[in-house]
Structure 1
Amino acid sequence: MEELAIDFEKGEGLVPAIIQDVDTKKVLMLGYMNEEALAKSTESGKVTFFSRTKDRLWTKGETSGNFLTIHDIQVDCDKDTLLIYVKPTGPVCHKGDDTCFADTNRSKTYFIDRLREIIKDRKNNPSDTSYTASLFNKGINKVAQKVGEEAVEIVIEAKDDNKELFMGEAADLLFHYLVLLEAKGYELDEVMDVLVQRHRK
């Protein structure tokens, strides 16, 4: 990871570090880091804090095995707070909860936004090896046709009890639906707006 410009002097050598799940965007916990803790974190790839009560460094998971593997680190505009995206291994809180705020951390729906970014990139920067780019290249009629085909296939699988096949078709339908939205130049957020308005009625 590249060197981060952090103002440790504001907090007398410590800065708060907000820990967030990279997949769900759920805030998991808050800790503090000094320069040494940050250096060890970036070197090891595991979140290491400075314990104000024990007056020493401690790597999250060093006793429980529930490590926080670093995906990315960002610095706020004042250079005195860290936002660390992680992949947690097991519960984060010492009480056994998913987060230190007693929240559950199960949803993976944030990945839809990442998938939307990938689909948009395939449209704007097509390659000969990309299936998604090939759909855009075939035009809106082909994209719409694929959504129809996948919709029929999930209906067929819904009548059986094979979860694996049903989930595969569900994933195919969702993917091609997102491709169709991008082909039309519409955003999923606009669909969400319609749902929100309906919910308010």
Structure 2
Amino acid sequence: MKIDFSKYADGLVPAIIQDFTTHKVLMLGFMNQEAVDKTMAEGKVTFFSRSKQRLWTKGEESGHFLLVKEVLNDCDNDTLLIKANPLGPTCHTGADTCWAEKNHSEEFLYYLQDIINLRKQSTDAKSYVRDLFGRGINKIAQKVGEEAVELVIEAKDNNEELFLNEAADLLFHYLILLNAKGHKLQDVVDILKSRHSK
């Protein structure tokens, strides 16, 4: 990938960050060659901070990293489009994007997946998710099995509210199990899409 850093006086090119899953634009930053190299090598979006005058990895303080999925160069070779998976809110204000847009309103399961990942790393001793991860993969798998059985039991009755609540419990614990195994919902969606196209 050839990037023309000479087009701008400061030697920096704009880098547009887009959510890989929802396609929402998350933020805009600037990169020099060193920032691009570090981004590609470590898989986390790194900018050149004009205010700090140094390399700055998004999330280095908050833990809300932008995990790189794809890097594209525009037709003039002077602007980058980086598709990434955000680990939490992108903006320093706590908003999902730097334009205060909701990023997960249509994709709540992906948002929930990110929340699970954040709570997995939480220091809050009262966190249910943190506690479940602390008990290990066997307990997590067991919990998914329990929720599946409870869903089957409710499916045989006529209480729609109980059935839907058990379905929600199963889906929630399924996302936890995927995380514990090092996978994401998108990995499963990709398999379903590949089966659908055959």
Tell me if both proteins adopt one fold, taking TM over 0.5 as the criterion.
yes
Q: Distance in 1 between the 2:103 and 2:157 partners?
A: 29
For the residue of structure 1 that corresponds to 2:101, the secondary structure is: coil
Q: Distance in 2 between the 1:165 and 1:94 partners?
A: 35
For the residue of structure 2 that corresponds to 1:32, the secondary structure is: strand
- Opposite residue 33 of structure 1, the aligned amino acid is M
Q: Is the Cα contact below 8 Å between 1:157 and 1:165 reproduced in 2? A: no
Alpha-carbon shift at residue 108 of structure 1 (Å): 2.6
Tell me the residue number matched to 1:79.
77
- Opposite residue 7 of structure 2, the aligned amino acid is K
Map 1:39-188 → 2, pairs under 5 A:
39-106=37-104, 107-108=106-107, 160-161=160-161, 162-163=163-164, 164-165=166-167
Percent identity for Structure 1 against Structure 2:
52
- Opposite residue 23 of structure 1, the aligned amino acid is T
Q: Distance in 2 between the 1:73 and 1:10 partners?
A: 19
Q: Is the Cα contact below 8 Å between 1:19 and 1:84 reproduced in 2? A: yes
- Opposite residue 60 of structure 1, the aligned amino acid is K
Tell me the residue number matched to 1:9.
6
Alpha-carbon shift at residue 47 of structure 1 (Å): 0.3
- Opposite residue 17 of structure 1, the aligned amino acid is A
**Does the C-alpha gap of structure 1 residues 159 and 97 become closer, same or farther in structure 2, counting only changes over 3 Å?**
same
Q: Distance in 1 between the 2:70 and 2:85 partners?
A: 10
Q: Distance in 2 between the 1:62 and 1:39 partners?
A: 17
How many residue pairs align between the two structures?
A: 127
Alpha-carbon shift at residue 53 of structure 1 (Å): 1.3
Q: Distance in 2 between the 1:157 and 1:81 partners?
A: 57
1:112-166 per-residue CA deviation (whole Å, 9 max, x = no partner) reads: xxxxxxxxxxxxxxxxxxxxxxxxxxxxxxxxxxxxxxxxxxxx99962222548
Map 1:31-46 → 2, pairs under 5 A:
31-46=29-44
1:3-49 per-residue CA deviation (whole Å, 9 max, x = no partner) reads: x2111110231100000000000000000000000000000000000
For the residue of structure 2 that corresponds to 1:40, the secondary structure is: helix
Alpha-carbon shift at residue 64 of structure 1 (Å): 0.7
For the residue of structure 2 that corresponds to 1:42, the secondary structure is: helix
**Does the C-alpha gap of structure 1 residues 158 and 76 become closer, same or farther in structure 2, counting only changes over 3 Å?**
farther
Alpha-carbon shift at residue 54 of structure 1 (Å): 1.3
Gaps of 5+ in 2: 111-155, 172-191
**Does the C-alpha gap of structure 1 residues 31 and 165 become closer, same or farther in structure 2, counting only changes over 3 Å?**
same
Q: Distance in 2 between the 1:157 and 1:108 partners?
A: 30
- Opposite residue 13 of structure 2, the aligned amino acid is V
- Opposite residue 101 of structure 1, the aligned amino acid is W
Q: Please, what TM-score do these two structures have when normalized by structure 2? A: 0.57
Q: Please, what TM-score do these two structures have when normalized by structure 1? A: 0.56
For the residue of structure 2 that corresponds to 1:86, the secondary structure is: strand
Q: Distance in 2 between the 1:73 and 1:54 partners?
A: 24
For the residue of structure 2 that corresponds to 1:9, the secondary structure is: helix
Q: Distance in 2 between the 1:42 and 1:94 partners?
A: 23
